Structures are given as C-alpha cells and as structure tokens.
Chain A
Amino acid sequence: GAGVSQSPSNKVTEKGKDVELRCDPISGHTALYWYRQSLGQGLEFLIYFQGNSAPDKSGLPSDRFSAERTGGSVSTLTIQRTQQEDSAVYLCASSLQAGATDTQYFGPGTRLTVL
C-alpha cells in the first residue's frame, strides 16, 4: 500500500506568515509523529499522537507551533508567525501501534524556508 505522504514537498514563506504542513499516515497506523530536522542535524521530536489519546506535545518549541490529527488519520502541523529559525525539513512518521512495534515509517518531508 501507499507509504506516508506529506504536502507540500517544499514551502517558501515570508517571515511572519502562517504555514500549514500536512501528513497522511499509512492506513491503519494509529501512531503519528512530527519531527524537525535542521541542516546537518538529527531529528528533533515535536509532537506525537497515539490513537484517541491526548497528544504528547512536549517537543513543540514554542506556542507558535500546534498540530491536529483529525479522525485519527491525517495530521496538520501549523506554524504561526514564522521565523527564519523555523526553516528546516519537517518529517512525519507513522507506526502501526506504539507498544506493538516502534518501527516508524517516514514520509518524504516538507522543506520549509522562511525568508
């Protein structure tokens, strides 16, 4: 079946604008993760959804960042009033069920550039 998909693949925006990044997980996967990866750096955890439980937001860097997961499937990461330091690749991953397996399948990422 289809893997994790993300859109857009690239996004260029001006400082101060809001952006929305979308993630479609693998069908049937109950866990969904958002990460950020700056150039040459490892993955920085942002937020994690597991089923209908309250999301783990402990990695969100500021209150300008928020995420939703509607219907237990598609997720949207919103960054308000973007800053240049928000420029990075935003990766989404899903896994079958946290606890059953931790293998995460990653999407291709959205490269965000804030001018």
Chain B
Amino acid sequence: EDKVVQSPLSLVVHEGDTVTLNCSYEVTNFRSLLWYKQEKKAPTFLFMLTSSGIEKKSGRLSSILDKKELFSILNITATQTGDSAVYLCAYSTNAGKSTFGDGTTLTVKP
C-alpha cells in the first residue's frame, strides 16, 4: 500500500536550535517528493525533490531526497518562533496523484 510516514510527530525546540524532520515513503510510480509548511490555514509550498542526493536550499531550510532508501529530510537551522508550524511531506505519482503524511508539528520556543 502506498504511504508516507513522517517523524517525529511533534517536536519542541528553542530558538537557535537546528531540527531535522524525516519523511519515508512507499509508492509505485514515484515522480516527486514535496514539502509543505502549514500554519493556520492552507499549506504553502517549500520544496519539490525529484533527484537523489541533490540538496535544495531556501534560506535556513534545506531538503534532500534518497530514492534508494525512500526517504527525505527537511533541515531547519537557527530556528525562529516563526518556524512553528506543521510540516507536511507528500509524494506525487506519474499519474499526478498526491499522498500526504500526517505531518510533524514543530514548536519553537523563544
């Protein structure tokens, strides 16, 4: 059965800490792995990964995909209170269908 598993389910850190969020997946006809940030309402796009071993960066956030081991990580360095959110991982298949994990709830304390 196709699925996405994220860990940890929740995480509490202090400002300035570095966090690593994990996403493992099992899917046939994999096309891409996506990360989203969800605060109060709709998710907003962070990264799309299609190739193994190529890190994508955006400011303090970075992500990498391992297609052999079927996982991805999202790193956030020098965390800030504004990083507090639910981080969602999803994959897309060649047919265009997306499946999301349950998310990791990150809380950054001042």
Contact = CB atoms under 8 A, between A and B. Distances in A.
B98 A102 contact: yes
B98 A56 contact: no
B95 A102 contact: no
A31 interface: yes
Given A41-B102, A42-B102, A99 B96 contact: yes
A99 B94 CA distance: 7
Interface residues of A, number: 25
- Majority secondary structure of chain B interface residues (helix, strand, loop or mixed): strand
B42 A107 contact: yes
Interface residues of B, number: 23
A43 B43 contact: yes
Contacts of A33: 98
15 contacts: A41-B102, A42-B100, A43-B88, A45-B97, A48-B97, A48-B98, A58-B97, A91-B42, A91-B43, A102-B31, A103-B34, A103-B45, A104-B34, A105-B45, A109-B41
Interface of B: 4, 6, 31-32, 34, 41-45, 48, 88, 90, 92, 95-103
